[in-house]
Structure 1
Amino acid sequence: MSAGIQIIRKRADFVAANRGLRVARPGFVLLTLANSGQGKRYGITVTKKIGNSVVRNRMKRRFRELLREALPGEGLPDHDHVLIGREGGIERDFSKLREELAVALSRAAAGKGDPPRRRGPPRK
């Protein structure tokens, strides 16, 4: 990573990013939130629903590499970027994930997020 891009490590920062813009893609969900002058930062979350530790760590390595390539040029300045792994992400072709991340970052830059997730019981 270049010097201007830091890693988000605190849970509070991950929780705060959830209030930001949400862009869902088949392999991941991108959350972006302005961070008041702290530069470009990124975080990665892959839950146990995705698979065992081997699968989760592989997915995180792939996401780290995607962000390493994309954020310096396409990332939003002074924003936190959080990638949340989805079940389809582990089998997806790396070049397809790269394209999806480029689209997600451009949508986030344009302020075009997806609607927030519903909470509560499923509708009938």
Structure 2
Amino acid sequence: MALASPVQASGGLFCEGEGGEIDIAMGRLVVMQVLGAFAEIDGERYSTGPERGEGTPFAVGQAFAEGDEMMVDFVDPNFEDIIVSLRVSWDAAAESYSGVLSTPTRRVEVRCMEG
């Protein structure tokens, strides 16, 4: 008798704009779960781990998706400060997500692709 492994729905979101980009690996079943990420804003790189790319370490502080909106905050390894945030909404006309990728000192308008 063959045993079936659990089904896991996963994918990703890649967002880019002038001066910044973020690549998020995520699982989405009942809730959104960020599995890892890499971001670059004005040449400063951030990463959840070396498997995602070289960069200043950051961790998922919170991630939330409801309806047409997704919100993710990445924090420093001590969970003291939010260092990168992503806020996007579904743009039906463009058939993609769009919004803002930000740090405490910079905001980048982004357009996103799911994959």
TM-score for the superposition, normalised by structure 2: 0.32
More strand by share: 2
Larger radius of gyration: 2
Structure 1 length-normalised TM: 0.31
State the structure with bigger RCO (CA 8 A, min sep 6), 1 or 2.
Answer: 1
- Higher helix fraction: Structure 1 or Structure 2? 1
